[in-house]
Amino acid sequence: SRCGGCSVQHLPHNEQLALKQRMLAEQLSKVAGVEPEEWAAPLSGPEFAYRRRARVAVRWDMKAKKLEVGFRAAGSHDIVGIDDCPVLVQPLQPIMSRLPEMLRRLSKPQALGHVELFSGSSLAVLLRHMAPLSDSDMTILKDFCAFHEAQLWLHGEGEPQPVEVDQSLGYRLEQWDLNLAYRPGDFIQVNAGVNEAMVAQALDWLKPQADERVLDLFCGLGNFALPLAKAVREVVAVEGVQVMVDRAAANAISNNLNNVQFFQADLSQPLTDAEWAREGFCAVLLDPPRDGAFEVVRKLKSLGAERLVYVSCNPATLARDTIELIKQGYRLKRAGILDMFPQTAHVEAMALFEAS
């Protein structure tokens, strides 16, 4: 309980879902003054052992002359030692439990930064270090990762790199037979099961047709764009960060999809007369960061979309953007929560808007 990440673990899971549903309903009601025409059932998966990525804090305690390894305590810089983490996926549990002992054997513990753990198409351990690692350190790290059948990534100066140059990180979207590659630092949803169910629900709500042109905004690695490309004539996918655009385009190529185009644009600004926007779209999917998509939604109606699915990680900005969408003549057809982070108070949501 001291680690502070799982702030509602004292509640039974059905009460957690009810709490999140109330939080979403209150924001839509109080901020936007609306209620959806229908509430969707909460989208949820396993209550525990769902988190496929974790960042482990590491700090040298000067007074005690010892290395602290664990998770940050709620509202402080204290590090809480963790023997096991109930929300971490099972393959990462043994790595997590043996990690502190291994790190304490390294020659310069005071020069270690954080550690990141990944589980997907393979397991991986990434170590941030502020001083060069000795040969004996490298042996310890390689032996540890070999024992756990995990890739070893190092983050010294510059970008994180795998020790074996041909190694990469990735995850599957099984329903669409897709493999998405990513690198440390890229955004991925930490809950694999709910992520795949979320993509399926988004496509079900959007009802893409084979002859349609669809827009995916804040597309990231192509988590929605690539499944969409299997259902429609053309997908235009837009992302603010060029390196993610390049990564998504590479994912399309590796999955033999040639009907999706990726573009970089500053999505905190109003949609301009960008060439990709000129032909218009039948439907739009957007999955913005926590601060929402206010400047984007102000111009969405001009793109001609009849249907819009908004995936939100912040009900407050979803409610704010809902006001603007209603002004533009959309109605809030359906909404529901996505239980991406069981045991926490974090609320994700999905909303379907249709042109009135």
Q: Can you give the pLDDT of all 356 residues of the chain as single tens digits?
A: 567 678 788 888 899 999 999 999 999 999 999 999 999 999 999 999 999 999 999 999 999 999 999 998 877 888 998 878 999 999 999 999 999 999 999 999 999 999 999 999 999 999 999 999 999 999 999 999 999 999 999 999 999 999 998 899 999 999 999 999 999 989 999 999 999 999 999 999 999 999 999 999 999 999 999 999 999 999 999 999 999 999 999 999 999 999 999 999 999 887 777 888 888 999 999 999 999 999 999 988 899 999 999 999 999 999 999 999 999 999 999 999 999 999 999 999 999 999 99
- Domain 53-169: state its class: mainly beta
* Topology of the domain comprising 13-47+191-355: Rossmann fold (3.40.50)
In this predicted structure, what is the pLDDT of residue 83?
79
What integer pLDDT is reported at residue 251 of this predicted model?
99
Q: What are the boundaries of each domain within the chain?
A: 13-47+191-355, 53-169
Give the whole-angstrom CA distance, residue 11 versus residue 19.
Answer: 10
Provide the b/e sequence for 307-343 (b: ≥16 CB within 10 Å).
bbbbbbbbbbbbbbbbebbbebebebebbbbbbbbbb
Please write the tens of the pLDDT for every residue from 59-97.
Answer: 999 999 999 999 988 778 889 988 789 999 999 999 999
| Long-range Cβ contacts of 271-274 (<8 Å, 24+ apart) | 271/295, 271/296, 271/299, 271/300, 271/302, 271/303
Alpha helices in the chain (DSSP H): 13-27, 93-103, 135-147, 192-206, 225-229, 242-254, 294-297, 315-327
Q: Which residues are catalytic?
A: 313
pLDDT of residue 4: 64
Rounded to whole angstroms, the Cα distance separating 160 from 57 reads: 17
Q: What is the pLDDT of residues 316-347, one digit of tens each?
A: 999 999 999 999 999 999 999 999 999 999 99
* Backbone phi, psi, residue 289, to 5°: -70, -170
State the chain's mean pLDDT as an integer: 95
CA distance 170 to 247: 12
Q: For residue 269, what pLDDT is reported?
A: 83
Residue type, 258: N
* Cβ neighbour number for residue 250 with a 10 Å cutoff: 15
Strand-strand pairing, 348-355 and 307-312: antiparallel
